[in-house]
């Protein structure tokens, strides 16, 4: 006994008018066949599009020119596809299962988290390597300009004092690093955020008048500058900015608004916490720098303590951002490894 091919009832629309035609729908030898109501149509399956299975609603087979056939008996439609050995795509199956949807969501979040923690720093490190010096310089310069006014004004330190500190630091850099030193520009500013020092992309190191005044001895200032030069050497500021930009782009793709992020770039540069890893790297650089320049590192420890005391009334200075580890960091400078 030969099986007559399975056929189900469906409605055909020509795609040009709202007229519907009752048809029988069958699939044979890779061909969709429609019969009835003045309709006789055979089309190769490969030229057609079968709509995804949804929990509710009809199933539809669309023809290239816009006509389609619709079946409301979803079970019969599934049997028809099964008999013709047409599998649902994996994606369609996934969409139907809540547990799998949840699993996909968890996997997405997991991927984003792993990407954020490990992928992003890795990506940022790669990007800054290929970013031209001139670009880095203009990013830093632009940031510096937009911070002016809100956060800083012209330094009130006597010019001779500025020159003296600059010369001493330049000399220490020469002694410690010679021509291996990264390019840097030392800038003094009177600050509205208290004693602070930080490094911007392009090698700009900003030191506030308030920090200079807080230091009991100039060696402490040199220690702070050495720490900031460590951030310059490892391009920490730029790497943070690249990471924050990626987060901004992802946020834009999800929420469709980048304006608030773009507006916040200067503040990102000023206030983003360096990771503890970055701080440790900058401290290690500073310790090595001070040792080579024959400056006792203990001065830096005194500076940390003074900053700790003064940060009560001010924003937490860049140097103390990784707060829980401050004691441990101070100890490194008090008794550095031989
Ligand atoms: Zn730092």
pLDDT in tens, 77-94: 888 877 776 665 544 554
In this predicted structure, what is the pLDDT of residue 145?
87
Distance CA 146, CA 169 (A): 26
Strand partners, 199: 205
Distance CA 207, CA 211 (A): 7
Distance 279 CA to ligand 1 centre (A): 5
Binned at pLDDT 50, 70 and 90, residue 219 comes out as: very high
Q: Which residue has the higher pLDDT, 52 or 237?
A: 237
Sheet holding 185-191, edge to edge: 152-154, 185-191, 204-208, 197-200
Distance 314 CA to ligand 1 centre (A): 17
Asked whether residue 204 carries a pLDDT value surpassing 90, the answer given is yes
| Residue whose tokens read 């220490």 | 172
Distance 247 CA to ligand 1 centre (A): 22
Do residues 269 and 143 lie in contact, with contact meaning Cβ atoms separated by under 8 Å?
A: yes
Distance 240 CA to ligand 1 centre (A): 12
Entry pTM: 0.62
Distance 282 CA to ligand 1 centre (A): 6
Domain ranges within the chain, ordered by starting residue = 7-88, 97-128, 131-334
Distance 94 CA to ligand 1 centre (A): 47
Distance 289 CA to ligand 1 centre (A): 15
Asked whether residue 293 carries a pLDDT value surpassing 70, the answer given is yes
Asked whether residue 265 carries a pLDDT value surpassing 80, the answer given is no
Distance 319 CA to ligand 1 centre (A): 5
| Residue whose tokens read 């929420």 | 255
**Least confidently predicted of 90-104, 240-254, 268-282, 297-311:** 90-104
Helix, strand or coil for residue 186?
strand
Distance 270 CA to ligand 1 centre (A): 11
Do residues 32 and 25 lie in contact, with contact meaning Cβ atoms separated by under 8 Å?
A: yes
In this predicted structure, what is the pLDDT of residue 90?
44
Distance 234 CA to ligand 1 centre (A): 11
The neighbourhood of ligand 1, an ion, using CB within 5 A, equals 279, 282
Distance 194 CA to ligand 1 centre (A): 16
CA atoms within 13 A on the CB side of 335: 3
Distance 280 CA to ligand 1 centre (A): 8
Distance CA 190, CA 309 (A): 20
Tokens of 283: 């401290």
Nearest to 74 by CA among 44, 104, 96, 46: 96
Do residues 8 and 21 lie in contact, with contact meaning Cβ atoms separated by under 8 Å?
A: no
Distance 227 CA to ligand 1 centre (A): 6
Nearest to 25 by CA among 88, 87, 67: 67
Distance 231 CA to ligand 1 centre (A): 7
Percent of the chain having pLDDT more than 70?
80
In this predicted structure, what is the pLDDT of residue 222?
95
Q: Could you tell me the fold of the domain covering 7-88?
A: PH-domain like (2.30.29)
Distance 324 CA to ligand 1 centre (A): 14
Q: Which residue has the higher pLDDT, 8 or 30?
A: 8
Distance 328 CA to ligand 1 centre (A): 14
Nearest to 139 by CA among 247, 230, 279, 269: 269
Distance CA 330, CA 47 (A): 72
Distance 85 CA to ligand 1 centre (A): 64
């Amino acid at each position: 006994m030969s099986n007559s091919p399975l056929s189900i009832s469906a409605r055909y629309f020509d795609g040009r008018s709202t007229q519907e035609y009752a048809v029988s729908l069958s699939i044979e030898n890779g061909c969709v066949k429609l019969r009835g109501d003045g309709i006789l149509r055979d089309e190769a399956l490969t030229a057609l599009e079968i709509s995804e299975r949804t929990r509710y609603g009809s199933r539809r087979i669309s023809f290239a020119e816009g006509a389609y056939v619709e079946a409301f008996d979803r079970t019969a439609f599934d049997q028809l596809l099964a008999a013709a050995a047409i599998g649902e795509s994996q994606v369609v199956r996934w969409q139907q299962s809540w547990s799998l949807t949840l699993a996909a969501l968890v996997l997405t979040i997991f991927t984003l988290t792993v990407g954020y923690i490990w992928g992003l720093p890795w990506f940022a490190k790669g990007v800054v390597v290929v970013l031209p010096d001139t670009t880095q310089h203009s990013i830093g310069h632009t940031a510096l300009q937009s911070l002016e006014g809100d956060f800083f004004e012209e330094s009130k330190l006597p010019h001779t004092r500025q020159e003296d500190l600059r010369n001493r630091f330049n000399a220490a850099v020469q002694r410690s690093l010679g021509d291996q030193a990264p390019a840097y520009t030392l800038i003094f500013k009177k600050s509205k955020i208290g004693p602070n020092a930080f490094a911007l992309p392009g090698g700009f190191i900003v030191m506030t008048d308030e920090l200079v005044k807080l230091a009991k001895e100039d060696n402490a200032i040199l220690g702070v500058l050495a720490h900031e030069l460590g951030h310059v050497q490892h391009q920490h500021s730029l790497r943070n900015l690249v990471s924050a930009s990626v987060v901004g782009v992802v946020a834009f793709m999800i929420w469709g608004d980048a304006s608030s992020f773009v507006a916040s770039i200067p503040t990102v540069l000023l206030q983003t916490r360096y990771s503890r890893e970055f701080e440790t790297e900058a401290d290690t650089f500073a310790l090595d720098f001070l040792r080579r320049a024959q400056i006792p590192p203990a001065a830096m420890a005194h500076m940390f303590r003074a900053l700790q005391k003064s940060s009560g009334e001010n924003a937490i200075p860049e140097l103390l951002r990784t707060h829980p580890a401050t004691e441990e960091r101070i100890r490194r400078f008090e008794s550095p490894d031989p």
